[in-house]
Structure 1
Amino acid sequence: MTRLVSDAGDRAVTRIRPAAWLMAAVALFLLAVAGYALLVHAYPQYYWRQIDTAVYRDGGVAVRHQPAMLYALRLGPAKLPFIYTPFAALLMAAGSGASFAAWQAGLAVLTIGLLPMVTYLCLGLAGRPAGLARAAASFVIAAVGLWLEPVAMTLFFGQINLVLLALVVGDLALPNRFKGKGIGIGLAAGIKLTPLIFIPYLLCTRRARAAAVGALTFAVTVGLGFALLPHASAVFWHEQFTELGSRHFHLTNQSLNGVILRLTHAGPGAHAYWQVAAVVVGTAGLATAILASRRGHELLGLVVCGATGLLVSPISWSHHYVFVVPALVLAAYGPQRLGYRILSAALVVGLFGWWPLPIGSQGGYDPTARLLPRGLLLLSPNEGNNGTLEFTWRGLELIAGNYYVLTLLAFISATACALALSKNPGGAGEARTHDRQITSLRQRSG
């Protein structure tokens, strides 16, 4: 009898501890959100502009009233073009009747709310079993992730990057036997073309049905665009798409194309150089991601594939780098040794953190400027989209102004080398192995 009471007490303590950790983790996440809300309230002119949200809403209005002019109009207070697909415009037209304030609040709440969900799914891909402990870890990582520059800038511009990331991660987290696997990636690619890279990734990792479903879903989005917005679709696929990225040499375009445009001062040979670099890096990066997945490192494959897509895209603004959230999960739970985990997580946060810095009006460090969260990228002189200071960079400015791209190149190269030198090329996936271990332990404990 005493033994039974003791066992029952141990099980109760085991249940209470994860619950307590989860409560503490949720409190930490809410504290991070509250800190962000206070910052926005104190400095709305710096952190609550959301000019891209205005483009989304106005693009939806244009679809309803001037569909043929969708890609000719300049939208929102910043007078920006609509650069997403016609299918994306159709989706935005569905909500364009709501007020801009409703769009602002709704998209901010959705972005922040998706953070714990994305981290929870990524932890599953890293091999962590479902439960309260995994949920607690997801809220802790989400609290940190909120204060990474790509996530903060997604909120600042009112972007949909976390929505697209959630579609991709959620799709890859589905069991391979699920017949609808691939739909999320197809939808994400139908809204913005960059996630298309995950279709060959699925195909080459022996998930042909999911790749076919993703490709079919994407094709349906294209077909809907031509059926409902024929003129706009013709403009997007025949004119806009061919010109995309040809002039975006500014600092925050952290793609290979952006780097080459800056190094060549947007010279006539820049496009050809980018095409060669994109083919080489794209092939090597995708091959590395495929190898990682086949070795059972599913989260590593996801991060490498996402990083490759960012590099080869003609435009990858710094806020597109939300794959840093899965990278943070990978850093915190990938290495076997605790010391390596701490070091890896610190490296991700150090490089991509939304650090408070005194930044001048033309970028660069200015000790007289107000100390506010900006991120390390802005330490390089720049004038946003209004100047050509990027062409004057020398020495360390070249490294600081391109370090997002340099970081991804180093990461992919290091991953490829580690996989090539690995002595354990086979084996089942991390998640399946871990789940079997947990099941075995539960059976032994009765």
Structure 2
Amino acid sequence: MRGRLHTLVTRYWRVLVVVSIPLLAFSVWSELLPFLARSKGGGFHVGGDFDVYRWAVHTWLEGGNTVENWAPMRNGEILPWVYPPFGVLPLTVFALPPTTVGVFLMWAADLAAIGMTLYLVVRYRWPSVGPRGALAVAAVVLPGTLWLEPVYSCFAQGQVNLVLMGLIVADCLVPNPRWPRGMLVGIAAATKLMPAAFLLFFLFRKDFRAAVVSVVTGVVCTLIGFAIDFESSMDYWFNYGPASSVAGHTLDSNQSVMGMVARWGLDPLVQNGIWAAVCLVLTVVLVRTVGRVDASVAMALTGVFTLLVSPTSWSSHWGWFVPGALILLGAAVTARSIARFALVVVIVVAARRIPFTMLAHENVPALLWVPQQLAGNAYVVLSIVLLLLTGWQVSRARPAGRVSEVDVGEQAALSRG
């Protein structure tokens, strides 16, 4: 099976790339275009975060405060700007052009980020297929990712999450990058706080130089944020607190450990205690695992860990399912593991069927409460299971000492090379 797939992607890579073009076009037409809405003045727009980005950039340019004020939406609602003030700078690329142009620029950047992520994972994980084989795999898989809720909802809201994921993947997996490794993670963290957790990726893999570069870059970018908008920066960092307006939100689509626990309606002290205990366990597992698996696995685990421990991880943040599922699928094929393949199927089904909508049904029989919680918090449950299973497998395979570049998905496969 593995040999046939290798032959397919290396010998017929041109055919696969050509075939992927109409598949991508169909996926865009079917899954993305329905989210475009006609603007009153002509053109198109998407709702949600993209409007917040545009509002924040224009408010900053006009001298307003992006932290104290909230962005008015087209439907009459208001939403907060929850990113650091530095974030307005990279988002000007999408916010300054006309809305229609900005939306399509964001979509193009998101597609490029997913494609690059798939390509880099394949190149790192299975180097024997070469650049052409990696291109073929990325081209074929890309259309399918648009059918997953974390991906298409990111497009639907015009979010920048997939672009940030692309920056992180490039920083972690590109061999001998032309930039100082860690710089892209620092920029991503200064734009949106969650990528700062990838400092753990560098620390636990003992790449201390990249860790230092990440911190320095993040600090410099944050200081730039103070320079361009001192008032908003003071409010964001010292008065209100980062993303305080949405931390631990009980909305069903907040697929994080804190979001899950918050929906149980417990006393705040108990709620925070459970969240802290779970996060501590997950941190210990990550510490014991990240340094003993190859970089692609470590990167995917860190991405999933970040979403789990963050107070707020909307379902559209879960783009890390894409590289994680690809790695797991490759491991299933290599090891001929039905269990791994079944887990991939469950992840894909969960990412397609939007299981958290089940939580909207409040009047469920007591016997069905646990199944409802397991299914409705599927992103959280599956990710915890995946993280724990990976940690357990690493401990079982290499019980003593730190083993660098161990591939838990392919115990008998080629090493990195």
Same fold (TM over 0.5): yes
Q: Aligned to 2:78, what secondary structure does the other structure show? A: coil
Question: Match for residue 407 of structure 1?
Answer: 382
The change in CA–CA distance for 1:131 and 1:179 in structure 2 (over 3 A counts) is closer
Q: Aligned to 2:65, what secondary structure does the other structure show? A: helix
Cα distance in 2 for residues equivalent to 1:255 and 1:168: 20
Cα distance in 2 for residues equivalent to 1:62 and 1:179: 32
8 A contact 1:180–1:210 mirrored in 2: yes
Cα distance in 2 for residues equivalent to 1:196 and 1:406: 23
1:106-117 equivalences under 5 Å are 106-117=105-116
Structure 2 residue 80 is matched with structure 1 residue 101? no
The change in CA–CA distance for 1:96 and 1:104 in structure 2 (over 3 A counts) is closer
Question: Match for residue 136 of structure 1?
Answer: 136
Question: Match for residue 89 of structure 1?
Answer: 88
8 A contact 1:62–1:70 mirrored in 2: no
Structure 2 residue 270 is matched with structure 1 residue 259? no
The change in CA–CA distance for 1:113 and 1:414 in structure 2 (over 3 A counts) is same
Cα distance in 1 for residues equivalent to 2:59 and 2:253: 28
Structure 2 residue 358 is matched with structure 1 residue 379? yes
Cα distance in 1 for residues equivalent to 2:226 and 2:184: 21
Structure 2 residue 165 is matched with structure 1 residue 171? no
Match for residue 337 of structure 1 among 335, 338, 356: 335
Question: Match for residue 29 of structure 1?
Answer: 24
Question: Match for residue 362 of structure 1?
Answer: none
Q: Aligned to 1:378, what secondary structure does the other structure show? A: helix
The change in CA–CA distance for 1:23 and 1:115 in structure 2 (over 3 A counts) is same
Return the letter of the residue paired with 2:321: V
Cα distance in 1 for residues equivalent to 2:182 and 2:87: 18
Q: Aligned to 2:69, what secondary structure does the other structure show? A: coil
Cα distance in 2 for residues equivalent to 1:389 and 1:160: 36
CA RMSD of aligned residues (A): 3.2
Q: Give the deviation of 1:288 after TM superposition.
A: 2.3
After superposition, what is the alpha-carbon deviation per residue over 1:254-285, rounded to whole angstroms, capped at 9, x for unaligned? 11111121123564543344334333323333
1:3-42 equivalences under 5 Å are 17-37=12-32, 39-40=34-35
- Between 1:411-420 and 1:102-111, the stretch displaced more is 102-111
Unaligned stretches of 5+ in structure 1? 1-12, 356-374, 383-387, 437-446
Q: Give the deviation of 1:108 after TM superposition.
A: 1.9
8 A contact 1:141–1:328 mirrored in 2: no
8 A contact 1:183–1:213 mirrored in 2: yes
Q: Give the deviation of 1:324 after TM superposition.
A: 0.5
Question: Match for residue 318 of structure 1?
Answer: 315
Question: Match for residue 241 of structure 2?
Answer: 240
Return the letter of the residue paired with 1:54: D
Return the letter of the residue paired with 1:252: S
Q: Give the deviation of 1:253 after TM superposition.
A: 0.8
Q: Give the deviation of 1:349 after TM superposition.
A: 1.2
Question: Match for residue 4 of structure 1?
Answer: none
Question: Match for residue 75 of structure 1?
Answer: 72
Q: Give the deviation of 1:116 after TM superposition.
A: 1.6
Q: Give the deviation of 1:107 after TM superposition.
A: 1.2
Return the letter of the residue paired with 1:124: R
Q: Give the deviation of 1:307 after TM superposition.
A: 0.9
Q: TM-score, normalised by structure 1?
A: 0.79
8 A contact 1:69–1:232 mirrored in 2: yes
Q: Aligned to 1:291, what secondary structure does the other structure show? A: coil
Unaligned stretches of 5+ in structure 2? 1-7
Cα distance in 1 for residues equivalent to 2:38 and 2:226: 43
8 A contact 2:93–2:102 mirrored in 1: no
Question: Match for residue 417 of structure 1?
Answer: 392
- Between 1:258-267 and 1:50-59, the stretch displaced more is 258-267
Cα distance in 1 for residues equivalent to 2:19 and 2:91: 37
Q: Give the deviation of 1:330 after TM superposition.
A: 0.6
The change in CA–CA distance for 1:208 and 1:396 in structure 2 (over 3 A counts) is same
Q: Give the deviation of 1:81 after TM superposition.
A: 0.6
Q: Give the deviation of 1:192 after TM superposition.
A: 0.9
Cα distance in 2 for residues equivalent to 1:17 and 1:435: 24
Question: Match for residue 211 of structure 2?
Answer: 211
Cα distance in 1 for residues equivalent to 2:247 and 2:337: 44
Question: Match for residue 193 of structure 1?
Answer: 193
Structure 2 residue 249 is matched with structure 1 residue 274? no
The change in CA–CA distance for 1:429 and 1:266 in structure 2 (over 3 A counts) is same
Return the letter of the residue paired with 1:263: W
The change in CA–CA distance for 1:69 and 1:84 in structure 2 (over 3 A counts) is closer
Question: Match for residue 346 of structure 1?
Answer: 345
The change in CA–CA distance for 1:49 and 1:329 in structure 2 (over 3 A counts) is same
Q: Indicate the percent of aligned positions where both proteins have the same amino acid.
A: 22
Question: Match for residue 54 of structure 2?
Answer: 57
After superposition, what is the alpha-carbon deviation per residue over 1:65-91, rounded to whole angstroms, capped at 9, x for unaligned? 133354423333331010011110233
Return the letter of the residue paired with 1:306: G
The change in CA–CA distance for 1:163 and 1:268 in structure 2 (over 3 A counts) is same
Question: Match for residue 305 of structure 1?
Answer: 302
8 A contact 2:35–2:46 mirrored in 1: no
8 A contact 1:185–1:196 mirrored in 2: yes
8 A contact 1:57–1:103 mirrored in 2: no
The change in CA–CA distance for 1:231 and 1:291 in structure 2 (over 3 A counts) is same
8 A contact 1:26–1:136 mirrored in 2: no
- Between 1:73-82 and 1:185-194, the stretch displaced more is 73-82
Between Structure 1 and Structure 2, whose CA radius of gyration is higher?
1
Cα distance in 2 for residues equivalent to 1:345 and 1:278: 24
After superposition, what is the alpha-carbon deviation per residue over 1:221-274, rounded to whole angstroms, capped at 9, x for unaligned? 111111221111111112232735445111111111111211235645433443
- Between 1:53-62 and 1:83-92, the stretch displaced more is 83-92
